[in-house]
Amino acid sequence: MSNWRQSLHILRVMLRHRLDLLVSADTIPRRLPRVLLKCWQGVLPGSDIPRGERVRAAFLELGPVYIKLGQLLSTRRDLLPADVADALATLQDKVPPIEGFDVAQFVTEVLGQDSGEVFKRLDAEPLASASIAQVHAAELANGDDVVVKLVRPGIRRQIQADMALLKSLAVWLDEHVPEARRLKLPRVTEDHEQVLLAELDMFNEARNQIRLRRNFAESDLLYVPRVHAEFTRDRLLIMERVYGLPIGQVDELKARGVDMRVLAHKGVETFFKQVFVHNFFHADMHPGNILIDTADPSNPKYIALDCAIIGSLTPDDQNYLAQNLLAFFNRDYRQVVELHLRSGWVPGDTDADAFEAVIREVCEPIFAKPLADISFAEFVVTLLDTAGQFDMQIQPQLVLLQKTLLYIEGLGRQLYPELDLWETAQPFMEEWATERLGPAAVITDWLSAGPELWQQLSRLPMTLKSSEAELRHLRTQLGKQSEHIERISTDLLRNRRHRRFKQVAGVGFLALATWMLWQPLAEGLGSGDATMLAGVVSAFLGSALLVRA
Q: What is the pLDDT of residue 20?
A: 73
Q: How many CA atoms lie within 13 A of 429 on its CB side?
A: 21
428 pLDDT band, cuts 50/70/90, is confident
- pLDDT for 75-121, tens place per residue? 666 567 878 888 887 776 667 788 889 999 999 999 999 999 999 99
pTM of the model: 0.68
* Candidates 20, 93, 251, 284; catalytic one: 284
SS3 69: helix
Average pLDDT of span 113-140? 91
**Range with top average pLDDT, 158-167, 337-346, 394-403:** 158-167
- CA-CA distances (angstroms) from residue 48 to 13, 17, 86? 17, 11, 18
Nearest partner of 413 among 382, 374, 461, 471, judged by Cα:
374
pLDDT above 70 for 219 = yes
Q: How far apart are CA 493 and CA 291, in angstroms?
A: 80
Q: How far apart are CA 346 and CA 517, in angstroms?
A: 72
Nearest partner of 221 among 264, 252, 256, judged by Cα:
264
Name the more confident of 324 and 76.
Answer: 324
537 pLDDT band, cuts 50/70/90, is low
pLDDT above 70 for 534 = no
Nearest partner of 355 among 376, 328, 374, 335, judged by Cα:
335
- pLDDT for 451-510, tens place per residue? 655 566 566 666 665 666 667 667 777 777 777 777 777 777 777 777 776 666 666 666
pLDDT above 70 for 324 = yes
Burial class (CB in 10 A: 0-12, 13-18, 19+), 301: buried
One-letter amino acid at 258 equals: V
Q: What is the pLDDT of residue 234?
A: 92
Q: Which residues pair with 293 in a beta bridge?
A: 301
Residue 243, Cβ neighbours under 10 Å: how many? 10
* Contact partners, residue 464, CB within 8 Å, separation at least 6: none
- CA-CA distances (angstroms) from residue 73 to 115, 401, 516, 520, 532? 40, 14, 84, 86, 80
* Contact partners, residue 271, CB within 8 Å, separation at least 6: 281, 404, 405, 408
- pLDDT for 242-254, tens place per residue? 999 998 888 999 9
Alpha helices by DSSP H, 216-332: 250-255, 260-273, 315-329
Give percent of the chain with pLDDT exceeding 70.
72
Q: What is the pLDDT of residue 268?
A: 85
Give catalytic status of residue 349 as yes or no.
no
* Contact partners, residue 507, CB within 8 Å, separation at least 6: 547
**Range with top average pLDDT, 357-361, 372-376, 446-450, 525-529:** 357-361
CB 252 within 8 A of CB 244: no
pLDDT above 80 for 368 = no
Q: How far apart are CA 295 and CA 270, in angstroms?
A: 19
Q: How far apart are CA 129 and CA 247, in angstroms?
A: 18
CB 406 within 8 A of CB 250: no
CB 134 within 8 A of CB 152: yes
Q: What is the pLDDT of residue 260?
A: 92
One-letter amino acid at 273 equals: K
CB 71 within 8 A of CB 86: no
Angle at 84 between CA 377 and CA 79, to 5 degrees: 60
- pLDDT for 42-51, tens place per residue? 667 777 788 8
pLDDT above 80 for 332 = yes
* Contact partners, residue 406, CB within 8 Å, separation at least 6: 75, 77, 377, 381
Average pLDDT of span 213-239? 94
